[in-house]
Amino acid sequence: MSYSTPKGVFDILPTEEKPENKWKESHRWDYLFEQLKELSKAYGFEEISTPIFEKSELFSRSIGKETDIVNKEMYTFEDKGGRSLSLRPEGTAPVMRAFIEKQMAQASYCHKLFYTGPMFRYERQQAGRYRQFYQFGAEIVGLPSPQLDVELIDFVYTLFQRLGLQNLTIHINSIGNKECRAAYRKALVEYLTPHKNSLSEDSQSRLEKNPLRILDSKSPADQKITANAPILTDYLEESSKQHFEEVKKWLRILKIPFVVSDKLVRGLDYYNRTVFEVVSGDLGAHNTIAAGGRYDYLLKDLNGPDLPAVGFAVGLERILQAMDTQKCSFPHKPVPLLLMIPLGEPATQVCFQLLKELRLHNIPSEVDYSEKKLKNIMRYADKKSIPYVMIVGEEELEEENLKLKHMSTGETEPVKLDQLILTMKNKLHDAKLS
């Protein structure tokens, strides 16, 4: 039997031969993580990590029993103690669970947390949709200020600018508070009921359980019907209306382009007021790269303190795929700076000790132990783009004089044995600057 990955998951590898799979290369992920972490620091976020499984009730209570995620997509299992556990389908609920459990509210009046890691949803396999996928998420707990909603949208906007991503649209909407959403829901059901038979099968079943989700149905028949549906923002109560106006004002102050999308409602139940999504024009059907919003009731609903919160998550596969499509640049794959090729046991001993010393100085280096023909080793070094190669034989050892070959020019530079570390340190420094 030959083994392969289960459906909907993928490996992240040092090298992917197929050009369309370059987004799976590990150095690209490293680069993205570095950018995300650097930006998190600049925006004042601290890292939090939670387990990849939690008690199942946490997700049904927060994301909502009638949502697709909880209804159809969770990896839920019973452990040997008979407890129902689920692989996390998202990060917000676990982070809020930790926040409440560890009484983090006591430390300050505003908390900025970020996390990265795999999430799990049993979704139909399609491009851009995976059963294990990676999110970076950021959450701010403690204040209702609209500026914080905008800080988060600005984080995403700045991230995408730094990565060189274009062709993105920021969609925003406000879904108000629980009361005005209930009034809107009633109006929407009244409007949709006479059209029930013309709605798609999915939307027909949502009509009673989760009618707001019909608004972002992809079915053309549904879209035709919802085109004239009542508009959510017309039902906002005064304070939500004002909050939404403020969000738009602060976005304009930062000159962040956005579109108000009155049918944007999001697929998780915990949101209120601001919701937003960033959509790429280059990804086909599953084109939302980032999404989030306010969730001022969630902490209280999870039996925590009554504190407002706002957050977002980005899908890392989708970012890397969009970067690929748009040919955004990535730093070069890290390679050793120096490859030493010893000829014989005494030379191997010297190179082996030099190797340890080079590495102590963080100079990426390797010794070739293959005993292959020199021609083959040089070809390998060339293919790997290793900049410096050093063949060490008896003569070099006797004279304590090494010969450093510059692979790009073919020139050889003499280096005293006791000067190698310093020489390579300088070369590393120059390589970083170039």
313 part of the interface to ligand HAM, by CB under 6 A: yes
Q: Is 230 exposed, middle or buried (0-12, 13-18, 19+ CB in 10 A)?
A: middle
90 part of the interface to ligand HAM, by CB under 6 A: yes
DSSP conformational letter for 337? S
Q: Quick one: which of 16, 66, 123, 282 contacts ligand HAM (CB under 6 A)? A: 123
135 part of the interface to ligand HAM, by CB under 6 A: yes
Nearest distance in Å: CB 63, ligand HAM? 8
**42, 172, 247, 261 from 253: Cα distances, Å:** 20, 16, 10, 20
- Return d(Cα 237, Cα 18) in angstroms, integer: 53
111 part of the interface to ligand HAM, by CB under 6 A: no
Give strand ranges (E) for 91-218: 111-120, 132-141, 168-174
Interface stretch with ligand HAM, choices 11-19, 141-149, 289-297, 326-334 (CB under 6 A): 289-297
Q: Which long-range contacts does 397-402 make (Cβ < 8 Å, 24+ apart)?
A: 397/346, 397/347, 397/350
Nearest distance in Å: CB 78, ligand HAM? 24
Interface stretch with ligand HAM, choices 287-295, 330-338, 339-347, 385-393 (CB under 6 A): 287-295
222 part of the interface to ligand HAM, by CB under 6 A: no
Interface stretch with ligand HAM, choices 205-213, 313-321, 339-347, 393-401 (CB under 6 A): 313-321
Interface stretch with ligand HAM, choices 85-93, 229-237, 388-396, 424-432 (CB under 6 A): 85-93
Q: Tell me the DSSP string of 342-400.
A: E-SHHHHHHHHHHHHHHHHTT--EEE------HHHHHHHHHHTT-SEEEEE-HHHHHHT
121 part of the interface to ligand HAM, by CB under 6 A: yes
94 part of the interface to ligand HAM, by CB under 6 A: no
Residue among 317 and 324 whose Cβ is closer to ligand HAM: 317
Say if CB 353 and CB 405 are below 8 A apart.
no
* Both tokens assigned to 273: 């007021």
130 part of the interface to ligand HAM, by CB under 6 A: yes
Give strand ranges (E) for 295-344: 309-315, 338-342
Q: Quick one: which of 64, 142, 292, 304 contacts ligand HAM (CB under 6 A)? A: 292
Interface stretch with ligand HAM, choices 121-129, 180-188, 334-342, 394-402 (CB under 6 A): 121-129
Nearest distance in Å: CB 115, ligand HAM? 10
* Both tokens assigned to 221: 């028949």
- Return d(Cα 169, Cα 294) in angstroms, integer: 19
- Return d(Cα 193, Cα 179) in angstroms, integer: 21
Residue among 95 and 341 whose Cβ is closer to ligand HAM: 95
Residue among 311 and 336 whose Cβ is closer to ligand HAM: 311
Residue among 114 and 235 whose Cβ is closer to ligand HAM: 114
Q: How far apart, in Å, do the first and last CA atoms of the chain sit?
A: 49
142 part of the interface to ligand HAM, by CB under 6 A: no
Cα 55 to the center of its chain, rounded Å: 24
Q: Which residues bind ligand HAM (CB under 6 A)?
A: 90-92, 121, 123, 128-130, 133, 135, 137, 139, 268, 288-293, 311-313, 315, 317-318
